[in-house]
């Protein structure tokens, strides 16, 4: 009876060891472009979230009927490519407002429409 229990335990251990080998990790080289993209995506996301935390922008969003917290959640849900594109547009806008204000207005409108489009209808 003990021998049967030992054989059963050995079979169980063999199956569990075989299952562990299916979940092994793979190591490989990461190219420089991929490593730079991952770091810049995080920096771009922080830059966009920092811009959205400004009180002037939050007041404008409230005036348009959009909650700033919803916009922050929506930016957090964006892909790295979308955040990179948005950050690139925001960095190309002149800081002094010398005629490039319409680009910032377009970017804000895009964010508002994305948030507004994701809200459920109230019908």
**Residue 41 confidence (pLDDT):** 78
- How high does pLDDT run on average in the chain? 77
Cα 44 to Cα 35: distance, rounded to the nearest angstrom: 14
**Residue 60 confidence (pLDDT):** 84
Residues 6+ apart with CB under 8 A from 60: 108
Q: Give the mean model confidence (pLDDT) for residues 22-31.
A: 69
**Residue 30 confidence (pLDDT):** 76
| Domain chopping of the chain, boundaries | 32-118
**Residue 43 confidence (pLDDT):** 84
Task: Classify residue 93 by its DSSP letter.
Answer: S
Q: Give the mean model confidence (pLDDT) for residues 5-18.
A: 82
The answer to whether residue 122 scores a pLDDT higher than 60 is no
**Residue 99 confidence (pLDDT):** 56
Is 108 in contact with 57 (CB distance < 8 Å)? Answer: yes
């Amino acid at each position: 009876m003990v021998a049967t229990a030992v054989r059963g335990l050995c079979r169980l251990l063999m199956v569990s060891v075989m299952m562990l080998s299916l979940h092994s990790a793979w190591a490989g080289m990461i190219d420089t472009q991929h490593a730079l993209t991952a770091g810049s995506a995080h920096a771009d996301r922080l830059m966009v979230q920092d811009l959205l935390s400004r009180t002037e922008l939050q007041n404008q969003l409230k005036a348009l009927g959009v909650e700033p917290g919803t916009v922050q959640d929506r930016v957090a849900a964006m892909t790295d490519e979308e955040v990179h594109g948005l950050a690139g547009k925001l960095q190309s806008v002149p800081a002094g407002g010398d005629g490039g204000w319409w680009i910032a207005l377009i970017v804000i409108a895009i964010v508002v429409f994305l948030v507004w489009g994701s809200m459920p209808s109230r019908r």
